Structure 1
Amino acid sequence: MEMKLWVLSSFRKHCCLPCASLRHLSIAVKAKRYTKQKSKKKKETQEVLSSHEEKRIRKKLLTETEKKHTFRQLYPWKTKLEFAQHLKQSQTYYQDGLLAVNKPYGIPILGHLTDLETRQNIIQTLSSGVTPEGIPSLQDALPLLKDLYDVPHMEIIKAPERWTSGVTLLGTQPETKAKVQKSLRRSLAAQIPPLTYWAIVLGKTNPETYTGKVGMALEDVKEKGKVPVITLKYTKTAVKEALVKVNCVHHKVLVNNSETMSSLVEVKVQNKRWHFLRVWCAYNYSPILGDMLYGGRVRRVGGNPVLISPHNMTAYSPPKIFPSTLSRLGLSENTQELIPCHLHLYNICLEQYGTKKTSLNITAQPPQHFIWSCFQLGLMAEPIEEDVKEEVEMM
């Protein structure tokens, strides 16, 4: 009996030793595995933190870069007086009650939305995301300009819309406005485009040159209202009923750069109603650089430009800008909203103006950001100096 008990005890002892060892081994493995997992998790956490830190630094650097970017320097004036003084310094012509200045980009004509922008049956004008609040309008500067020029009268005769820079005609005498309007009516009757615009466009226009009449109509688009479209075929009845607006157009490419996929174009028109310039450039497969309103009407499929119907909602998404173009402009895809619309009213021709009945051409050079973009995109051999003088030509 004692022998059996000893054998049983000895058996249990020797059998339990391996089990205990296995338990200790299992605990050790689990502890090592836990330590390894904890170390890995800590390392991953550090990597995540490093990634977040890297993004924060990149965002900070990008923000600092944006603050110093040329497109951030569009509104240097701190007061209305400084703005009025800037307009006076940009004077391109002043004689016999007719004053011409160079309106900067982003300056509204009035202190409130224009008739086109408030009409519910027209697609709304998009504002720029980088435009600061409190920008003075042209109307706000008139009292100050009147004092600076020491004249009893000052009114706006003709000016480009807010998101276009260029020649702006003011009158310092009550009868000047009627003279200008009469001259513009002569151009309309003679089918001579009196307005010459310069624009930087994406791609190359097709066709490169065009001279002729172009119709523009409004189409009903679901959830968008009435949207302007180009139509080359129209009836006299449609024109008579004001369903189609006819415009005489002279269009040509001044410079093209295939490397940056951009061009500098000149477009002469009779009128600019319904955002004609923007719609026309998009219609010719070359949307204006910075045009967030109609730039989406052109997309690239297999490297070739394709027109998108205004009834397709893709046409209202932001335009796709070539990486090479963004790189030259010092921007990324996430910051392309900084790009202003590169459209400039370069010249106004007044047919048979004044007592001499001669044509008066008033020209204003593009703003510095426009010239800078031309230089960056290889559309200009060298940037024009800031003190370049605007041209005024009498013909």
Structure 2
Amino acid sequence: MWGRVSCRCRLLCGGTWPGTGVRARSETQKSETWYQIYLKGAKKKGDLHKQLFPGMLKPETLHHEELAEMMKTAVLYHNGPLVALNKPQGLAVTGKPGELTLLSVLPEVGQHLGFRQELQIVRAPGKESSGLVLLSSSPQLTKTFQNFFIHSRRAQKPTVTYWAVTVGVPDTTKGEIQVSLKLDHVRGMDPVVPVKAPSRQALREGVKKTLTHFFVEDSTCDSALIKLQPLTAFPSQLLVHMVLQLCPVLGDHVYSGRVGSVLGESFLLPLETAIPQTQVLNDLLLHRLQITSNEVALLPLHLHLHQILLPQTSVAPTVLIAPLPPFFSQTLWNLGLQMSGKPRNN
């Protein structure tokens, strides 16, 4: 069963991306990934956004039918009632009625795969993150997975792994980030903010204790590739946790403004003065990313749900993996960062 997943994962990595070690599919094959389809449109229209960051998706430029066709090619695994797909960055999983989301095209994806029952979302990353989405047409299987995730969380055993590229390098190569978080209401926005020593009353009223394990996979003088394993679930948890390490995720245009710098030394700005803004990058980092300061606002969030652990069942392997988006792999190449066992860019 695992062989089916590995084979399919390789097939979805169309194109050889520098520094990834991923082999390209034959150009003669008829099947294409969603980002190959999208890039064809980019070349025809001359869209700068798509050319700068290959594999970027702008849902607002698509019709419902176009997105449905692309998501059919995003399927990584299908066995019985279980489906896993690789969600592009920038695509919301759910939304208001009438909005173009992953949920809005699931009926077409399910029909394409031969489902009669409706596909339900079991696990998925947020809109600005890419990566694995776990779907099920069986309420019983969904409950089995959810119970497994709950029990693993209580036992502090991580079940999901994210890859992130950060601006800055943590002081230690691995560690834990423990902090209480809450949703605040500031200037008409709902940012996530840390709470020091929350009271029992605060914990009952929306403040949540959060925990993330992190491991520095590789680093340069001003950037890092980091493996993140959250053991709790809270909106924007990973973004805020990395900001608290003074290493915001690349492409974070919401929380990175909380990190200031003087003479090369980073520090946290007071929350009341830090507002969401386009991420600020130094000239050296811009040069290595091969973008200008005017193009930073187009920079996608480099946070990818790479792996999910599952309980032993008859319909799934115990590990599902989603390949990195093309723009993420290109960034690793540009910055000289590598994953374990991959050739380094010299």
Normalising by the smaller structure, the TM-score range is 0.7 to 0.9
2:139 counterpart SS class = coil
| Counterpart residue number, 2:235 | 274
Identity %: 26
Q: How does 1:248-267 map to 2 (within 5 A)?
A: 248-258=211-221, 261-267=222-228
Residues 201 and 353 of structure 1, relative CA distance in 2, 3 Å threshold: same
Q: Look up the SS of the partner of 1:331 in the other structure.
A: coil
Task: Look up the match of 2:179.
Answer: 214
Report deviation, 1:376.
0.7
Among 78, 92, 100, the alignment partner of 1:136 is 100
- Whether the aligned pair in 2 keeps the contact of 1:375 and 1:381 (CA below 8 Å) is no
Q: Distance in 2 between matches of 1:111 and 1:143?
A: 15
**Counterpart mapping for 1:87-102 below 5 A:** 87-102=71-86
Give the SS at the match of 2:84: strand
Displacement after TM superposition at 1:232 (Å): 6.4
Map of 1:331 onto structure 2: 291
Tell me, in whole angstroms, the C-alpha distance in 2 between the residues paired with 1:330 and 1:355. Answer: 47
Letter in structure 2 aligned against 1:136: L
Q: Which amino acid aligns with 2:89?
A: Y
1:71 equivalent in alignment to 2:53: yes
1:231-275 Cα distance to aligned partner (Å, 9 max, x none): 464455543x144212232111111011xx111111101334221
- Alignment of 1:228 with 2:192, yes or no, is yes
How big is each residue's C-alpha offset from its partner over 1:206-243, in whole Å with a ceiling of 9 and x where there is no partner?
A: 3432136432234565x35654223464455543x144
Residues matched between the structures, number: 296
Whole-Å separation in 2 of the counterparts to 1:67 and 1:363: 27
CA apart distance, 1:91: 2.6
Instruction: Name the residue aligned to 2:36.
Output: none
SS, match of residue 217 in structure 1: strand
Could you tell me which residue of structure 2 aligns to residue 321 of structure 1?
A: 281
Q: How far apart, CA to CA, are the structure 1 residues paired with 2:55 and 2:135?
A: 26
Write the distance in 2 (CA, Å) between the matches of 1:381 and 1:234.
38
Is 1:344 matched up with 2:304? yes
Note closer, same or farther for the CA distance 1:175–1:294 as it changes in structure 2 (3 Å cut): same
The partner residue of 1:371 within 329, 335, 344 is: 329
Corresponding residue SS for 2:309: strand
Q: 1:381 to 1:98 in 2, by over 3 A?
A: closer
Cα drift, residue 284 of structure 1 = 0.4
Q: 1:194 to 1:236 in 2, by over 3 A?
A: farther
Work out the CA distance in 1 between the residues paired with 2:137 and 2:51.
Answer: 37
Residue correspondence of structure 1 range 102-117 to structure 2 within 5 A: 102-112=86-96
Contact 1:192 1:248 in 2 (8 A): no
Distance 1:381 1:248 in 2: 24
Change (3 A) 1:267 1:242: farther
1:178 has 2:136 as partner: no
Would you say 1:158 and 2:116 are equivalent positions? no
* TM-score, normalised relative to structure 2: 0.75
Q: Tell me how far 1:151 sits from its aligned partner.
A: 1.1
Q: Distance in 1 between matches of 2:190 and 2:99?
A: 29
Amino acid at match of 2:282: F
**1:130 corresponds to:** none
Instruction: Please give the residue correspondences for 1:13-92 in structure 2 after superposition, counting only pairs within 5 Å.
Output: 66=48, 69-71=51-53, 73-75=55-57, 79-92=63-76
Tell me which residue corresponds to 2:313: 354
Of 129, 132, 145, the residue aligned with 2:109 is 145
Q: Which residue of 1 aligns with 2:4?
A: none
Cα distance in 2 for partners of 1:348, 1:73 equals 22
CA drift at 1:281: 0.8
Deviations along 1:94-152, one digit per CA (max 9) or x if unpaired, are 23411111001111112429xxxxxxxxxxxxxxxxxxxx9831112111112211110
| Counterpart residue type for residue 148 of structure 2 | S
Name the CA shift for 1:381/1:360 in 2 (closer, same or farther; >3 Å): closer
The RMSD of aligned alpha carbons is 3.2
CA distance in 1 between counterparts of 2:91 and 2:225 reads: 23
Residues in 2 aligned to 1:231 and 1:76: alpha-carbon distance in whole angstroms:
35
- The CA distance in 1 between the partners of 2:185 and 2:190, in whole Å, is 4
CA distance in 2 between partners of 1:175 and 1:88 (Å):
24
The 3 A distance-change label for structure 1 pair 73 and 102 is closer
Please state which structure has a larger fraction of its residues in helix: 1
Find the counterpart in structure 2 of residue 199 from structure 1.
164
Farther-moved stretch of structure 1 (101-110 vs 84-93): 84-93
Q: Segments of 4+ in structure 1 off by > 6 A?
A: none
Amino acid at match of 1:166: G
CA contact (8 A) 2:55 2:326 kept: no
